[in-house]
């Protein structure tokens, strides 16, 4: 394989011994006049004390846990700084918690006039760990004989609701981090202590989302529920998992591809690297040691290379072979992500590079890079045309050694002229026929590893464990994380409704990447990931955490995007954030008598090339990634397999005052003709959208968890009110219109008056649905349109517990599911 990139290690700023406190003082001096002095004084912490070190160390007797943002500060915390314990350090909690945004001024709550930078939060964090630094022997004793190593983690400080133990605000860690690409540089939101993708006054701009990493001395220990975790502990036995939603999730794997069917020993029988002590450069990190901590970032995108290798291995020459396949852009490392050099970003913030567009036409040696499109389906069963994309099929196990989909709709002639197949009828037949050269496109996603070096303690701790770094596509629902949805499904969804929400063939409940137990990319040269290490994406808490008292739990009002795997989609099928491949079945002893099973591992190269090819089709299948992909099923003609699960509003899909978020307008009723007009899925080209105007995330991206849940739940209730009992029943209905109900809507007022029922004023939706007589045919006047014959139209109003339905006689009735 190709030579890997030259690794460039980044060193944290090294301070002379005894100078960590200076960073704390500098942060407090800047923030004090902005409301922070008054905020901390309210809790008994005097920033003007002559001996600041003593002031931060003394017990505080006036901590007010009724003050906004301090409700989930650990009950055991009683100092400004508790050595080695960020969650019990009031100053760190105040700096790092996204819930703390105000101070008391003249008896009234007033918004703080400034917020700490990442560098300032890091200064407090390092002081917490360096105030009374442990020795290596101290750490060995604390680990109680467990194996130690230097381990790289992606980290966040979260409110109690997002922590592993759920008892108080705390640090959370994962050995996999998720950064996301975009068209604009990142912008730190101090109040949220994080990042969001929105660009003010530019609806189609998408900011990159960075990911913070840090090195820790960590110990390898079994999972422990209610303590260091992992988050969403897997008990093992499906029948004894304790909740119907969780059982359904694990049971759903029985229908999964072979590569995803794993023996489930349970997390109590797995071992997890759990942080003990943070490492940073200088003489105050470890007792009697002056160390230098260096991290490096290495990433790769090899989608185009992998596609051509698959062509070659299955008897088709796509136009290229080695040595070209080892050149860029078949495979490339530059332009994906690197550590920030901005002074306010702290030590190790991985920032994807922003690019003007999410995808670019690929070129090689100054000429358009193309591939010879094969005729499909081929005799080997290795590829086919799906809609208007070239679909590279997986191995029999389900694993993918190449991108699932290739864009094949821009043909390049011998004279270099370009022919857009989107402008021609029968595009699917054109792709199926092959025989032309199609333009390759690159995106700037990738995966790789974050390595660490600390030579001064290499003899004590020779084992270094890198983190797995995923640079993923944008998340169009940055405020909706998978774990929140899964927790809701586990604990709140009525059992009788479970099948009505997510029942697409081959899938069950939505899965977060943090719930997956697979190795990291074993094909990345230089990463040296362990094939037996299947806890890379798990989220854990600090060693010894979870023993504290339960605090008051409150949600966060200042939203930020998560950089950890519980905010990323799982790998039930390739799609949004990550795919999977599998090592070959091997005989390690070469005796011919023993066949060692292959190992499933996570990859980037199994996703679409470019990623939009996958994103469109994934979103069109409604429920593969409910909390990550927009559900665009209702934008297109009825499917034979997929029904709408979480509808997008009329406004978002172009049926209101704004253009559609993705350039594809939703359905239009042609009532006199008895038809509904749809855009053809085959002609919906997300690559062209990315090249021309970009995706408008100004509305769709602001969807909250609560709103997402309400849409999902009301859609399930609507199906039940329509008499749906099976998946086939559900496929008979399509959503023509969906929007928030206007409280003054005459139909809503009439429905409530007729039934004597009242709907939730915050989450009441207006649905207009129809039963279709067919799945549509091409519009004879416009081959980019599909016309569907409809039967009856039904108007419904729904909230999360009740549906009001109007029948053919004009009478209203109430429908609800109680259990």
Q: Which residue has the higher pLDDT, 417 or 251?
A: 417
pLDDT attached to residue 756: 95
Looking at every residue in the chain, the average pLDDT score rounds to: 89
Query: Could you tell me if 639 and 607 are in contact, meaning their C-beta atoms sit under 8 angstroms apart?
Result: no
Q: Quick check: 264 pLDDT over 70?
A: no
Q: Quick check: 423 pLDDT over 80?
A: yes
Model confidence at 15, in pLDDT bands (50, 70, 90)? low
pLDDT attached to residue 482: 72
pLDDT attached to residue 263: 59
Q: Hey, is 654 helix, strand or coil?
A: coil
* Cis amide prior to 665 (ω within 30 degrees): no
The pLDDT of 311-325, averaged and rounded, is 96
CA atoms within a 13 Å half-sphere pointing along the CA-CB vector of 428: 13
The single-letter DSSP state of residue 381 is S
Nearest CA among 203, 663, 607 for reference residue 444: 607
Query: Could you tell me if 660 and 204 are in contact, meaning their C-beta atoms sit under 8 angstroms apart?
Result: no
Give the whole-angstrom CA distance, residue 582 versus residue 399.
6
The single-letter DSSP state of residue 354 is P
For 201-290, strand residue ranges (E) read 211-222, 271-279
Tokens of 397: 């196990």
Tokens of 746: 């005459």
Token pair 């108007």: residue: 795
Query: Could you tell me if 444 and 355 are in contact, meaning their C-beta atoms sit under 8 angstroms apart?
Result: yes
- SS3 track for 290-347: CECCEEEEEEEECHHHHHHHHHHHCCCCCCCCCCHHHCCCCCECCCCEEECCCHHHCC
The pLDDT of 730-755, averaged and rounded, is 95
Q: Which residue has the higher pLDDT, 6 or 148?
A: 148
Query: Could you tell me if 631 and 647 are in contact, meaning their C-beta atoms sit under 8 angstroms apart?
Result: yes
Query: Could you tell me if 197 and 207 are in contact, meaning their C-beta atoms sit under 8 angstroms apart?
Result: yes
Token pair 């299955």: residue: 314
Model confidence at 239, in pLDDT bands (50, 70, 90)? very low
Model confidence at 489, in pLDDT bands (50, 70, 90)? confident
Query: Could you tell me if 605 and 445 are in contact, meaning their C-beta atoms sit under 8 angstroms apart?
Result: no
Give the whole-angstrom CA distance, residue 135 versus residue 85.
16
Share of the chain above pLDDT 90, in %: 72
Q: Strands 668-670 and 405-406, how do they pair?
A: unpaired
Give residues with Cβ within 8 angstroms of 478, minimum separation 6.
196, 197, 209, 559, 561, 701
The least confident of 77-86, 490-499, 559-568, 684-693 is 490-499
pLDDT attached to residue 257: 66
Burial of 46 (0-12, 13-18, 19+ CB in 10 A): middle
- pLDDT tens digit sequence for 662-692: 999 999 999 899 999 999 999 999 999 999 9
Q: Quick check: 259 pLDDT over 90?
A: no
pTM score, whole prediction:
0.93
Q: Quick check: 467 pLDDT over 90?
A: yes
Q: Using CA atoms in the order 177, 178, 183, 186, what is the torsion angle rounded to 10 degrees?
A: -50
Q: Quick check: 325 pLDDT over 90?
A: yes
- Return the H-helix or E-strand segment holding 53: helix 52-57
The pLDDT of 497-524, averaged and rounded, is 76
The pLDDT of 330-342, averaged and rounded, is 97
The least confident of 73-87, 194-208, 263-277, 757-771 is 263-277
Give the whole-angstrom CA distance, residue 560 versus residue 198.
11
pLDDT attached to residue 248: 37
Q: Strands 765-772 and 777-779, how do they pair?
A: unpaired
Give the whole-angstrom CA distance, residue 519 versus residue 600.
7
Question: How remote is the C-alpha of 80 from its chain's centroid?
Answer: 34
pLDDT attached to residue 314: 93
Tokens of 216: 């820790």
pLDDT attached to residue 565: 94
Query: Could you tell me if 438 and 411 are in contact, meaning their C-beta atoms sit under 8 angstroms apart?
Result: yes
pLDDT attached to residue 501: 75
* Cis amide prior to 323 (ω within 30 degrees): yes
Q: Hey, is 65 helix, strand or coil?
A: coil
Q: What's the full length of the chain, in residues?
A: 819
Nearest CA among 803, 680, 696 for reference residue 741: 803
Tokens of 61: 């007797």
Number of Cβ within 10 Å of residue 788's Cβ equals: 22
Model confidence at 623, in pLDDT bands (50, 70, 90)? low
Q: Hey, is 531 helix, strand or coil?
A: coil
User: Would you list the DSSP string of 562-622?
Assistant: --SGGGSB--SSS-SS-EEEEPPPB-TT-SSS--BPP-EEEESTTS-BSHHHHHHHHHHTS
Give the whole-angstrom CA distance, residue 20 versus residue 133.
12
The pLDDT of 442-467, averaged and rounded, is 97
The least confident of 155-164, 229-238, 315-324 is 229-238
Give the whole-angstrom CA distance, residue 406 versus residue 371.
10
Alpha helices in 233-319 (DSSP H): 244-251, 303-313
Give the whole-angstrom CA distance, residue 534 versus residue 517.
5
User: Would you list the DSSP string of 132-148?
Assistant: SPPPHHHHHHHHTT-EE
The pLDDT of 21-39, averaged and rounded, is 96
- pLDDT tens digit sequence for 718-739: 999 999 988 888 999 999 999 9
pLDDT attached to residue 641: 82
Query: Could you tell me if 606 and 401 are in contact, meaning their C-beta atoms sit under 8 angstroms apart?
Result: yes
Model confidence at 799, in pLDDT bands (50, 70, 90)? very high
The single-letter DSSP state of residue 2 is P
Give the whole-angstrom CA distance, residue 790 versus residue 792.
6
Give the whole-angstrom CA distance, residue 672 versus residue 122.
65
Measured between alpha carbons, how far apart are the two ends of the chain, in Å? 57
Query: Could you tell me if 195 and 561 are in contact, meaning their C-beta atoms sit under 8 angstroms apart?
Result: yes
CA distances from 39 to 32, 68, 111, 718, 726 (A): 9, 11, 11, 48, 57
Give the whole-angstrom CA distance, residue 599 versus residue 601.
6
* Cis amide prior to 337 (ω within 30 degrees): no
Q: What share of the chain is helix, strand, coil (3-state, %, to 5)?
A: 25, 25, 50
Give the whole-angstrom CA distance, residue 349 versus residue 163.
21
- pLDDT tens digit sequence for 553-606: 888 877 899 999 998 888 765 457 899 999 987 665 655 555 667 899 999 999
Give the whole-angstrom CA distance, residue 631 versus residue 648.
7
């Amino acid at each position: 394989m190709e030579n890997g990139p030259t690794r460039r290690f980044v060193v944290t700023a090294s301070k002379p011994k005894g100078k960590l406190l200076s960073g704390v003082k500098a942060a407090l001096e800047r923030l004090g006049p902005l409301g922070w002095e008054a905020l901390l004084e309210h809790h008994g912490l005097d920033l003007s004390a002559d001996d600041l070190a003593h002031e931060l160390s003394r017990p505080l007797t006036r901590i007010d846990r009724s003050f906004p943002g301090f409700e989930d500060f650990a009950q055991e915390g009683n100092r400004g700084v508790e050595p080695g314990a960020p969650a019990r350090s009031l100053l760190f909690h105040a700096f790092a918690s996204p819930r703390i945004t105000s101070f008391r001024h003249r008896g009234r709550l007033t918004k703080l006039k400034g917020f700490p930078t990442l560098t300032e939060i890091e200064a407090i964090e390092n002081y917490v760990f360096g105030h009374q630094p442990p020795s290596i022997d101290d750490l060995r004793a604390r680990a109680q004989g467990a194996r130690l190593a230097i381990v790289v983690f992606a980290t966040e400080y979260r409110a109690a609701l997002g922590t592993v133990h759920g008892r108080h605000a705390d640090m959370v860690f994962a050995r996999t981090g998720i950064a996301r690409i975009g068209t604009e540089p990142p912008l730190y939101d101090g109040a949220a202590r994080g990042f969001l993708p929105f660009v003010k006054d530019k609806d189609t701009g998408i900011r990159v989302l960075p990911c913070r990493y840090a090195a820790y001395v960590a110990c390898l220990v079994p999972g422990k529920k209610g303590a260091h975790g992992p988050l969403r502990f897997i008990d093992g036995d499906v029948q004894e998992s304790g909740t119907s939603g969780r059982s359904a999730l694990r049971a759903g794997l029985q229908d999964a591809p072979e590569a995803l069917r794993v023996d489930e020993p349970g997390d109590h029988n797995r071992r997890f690297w759990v942080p003990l002590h943070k490492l940073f450069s200088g003489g105050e990190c470890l007792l009697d040691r002056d160390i230098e901590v260096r991290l490096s970032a290495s990433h790769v995108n090899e989608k185009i290379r992998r596609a051509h290798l698959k062509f070659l291995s299955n008897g088709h020459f796509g136009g290229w072979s080695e040595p070209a396949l080892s050149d860029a852009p078949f495979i490339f490392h530059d332009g994906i992500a690197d550590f920030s050099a901005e002074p306010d970003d702290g030590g190790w913030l991985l920032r994807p590079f922003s690019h003007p567009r999410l995808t670019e036409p690929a070129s090689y040696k100054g000429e358009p890079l193309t591939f010879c499109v094969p005729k499909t389906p081929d005799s080997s069963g290795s590829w086919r045309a799906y809609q208007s994309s070239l679909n590279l099929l997986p191995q029999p196990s389900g694993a993918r050694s190449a991108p699932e989909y290739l864009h094949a709709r821009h043909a390049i002639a011998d004279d270099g002229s370009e022919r857009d197949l989107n402008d021609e009828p029968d595009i699917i037949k054109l792709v199926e026929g092959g025989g032309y050269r199609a333009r390759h496109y690159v995106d700037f996603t990738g995966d790789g590893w974050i390595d660490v070096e600390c030579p001064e303690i290499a003899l004590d701790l020779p084992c270094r464990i890198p983190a797995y770094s995923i640079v993923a596509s944008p998340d169009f629902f940055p405020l909706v994380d998978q774990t929140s949805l899964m927790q809701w499904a586990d604990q709140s969804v009525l059992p009788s409704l479970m099948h009505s929400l997510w029942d697409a063939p081959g899938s069950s409940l939505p899965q977060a990447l943090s719930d997956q137990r697979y190795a990291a990319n074993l094909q990345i040269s230089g990463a040296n990931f362990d094939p037996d290490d299947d806890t890379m994406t798990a989220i854990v808490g600090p060693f010894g955490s979870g023993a504290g008292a339960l605090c008051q739990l409150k949600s966060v009002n200042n939203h930020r995007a998560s950089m950890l795997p519980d905010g990323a989609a799982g790998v039930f099928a390739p799609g949004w954030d990550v795919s999977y491949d599998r090592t070959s079945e091997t005989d390690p002893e070469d005796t011919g008598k023993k066949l060692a099973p292959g190992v499933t591992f996570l990859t980037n190269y199994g996703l679409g090339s470019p990623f939009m090819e996958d994103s469109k089709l994934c979103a069109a299948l409604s429920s593969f990634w409910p909390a990550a992909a927009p559900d665009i099923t209702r934008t297109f003609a009825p499917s034979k397999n997929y029904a709408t699960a979480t509808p997008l509003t009329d406004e978002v899909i172009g049926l209101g005052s704004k253009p559609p978020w993705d350039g594809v307008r939703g359905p239009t009723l042609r009532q006199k003709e008895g038809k509904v007009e749809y855009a053809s899925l085959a002609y919906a080209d997300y690559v062209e959208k990315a090249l021309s105007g970009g995706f408008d995330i100004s509305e769709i991206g602001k969807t909250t968890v609560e709103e997402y849940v309400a849409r999902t739940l009301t859609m399930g209730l609507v199906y039940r009110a329509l008499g749906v009992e099976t998946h086939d029943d559900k496929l008979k209905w399509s959503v023509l219109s969906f929007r928030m109900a206007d409280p003054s809507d005459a139909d809503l007022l009439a429905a409530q008056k007729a039934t004597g029922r009242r709907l939730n004023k915050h989450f009441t939706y207006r649905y207009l649905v129809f039963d279709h007589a067919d799945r549509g045919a091409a519009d004879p006047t416009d081959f980019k349109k599909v016309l569907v014959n409809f039967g009856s139209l039904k108007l419904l109003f729904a909230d999360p517990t009740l549906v009001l339905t109007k029948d053919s006689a004009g009478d209203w009735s109430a429908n609800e599911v109680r259990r």
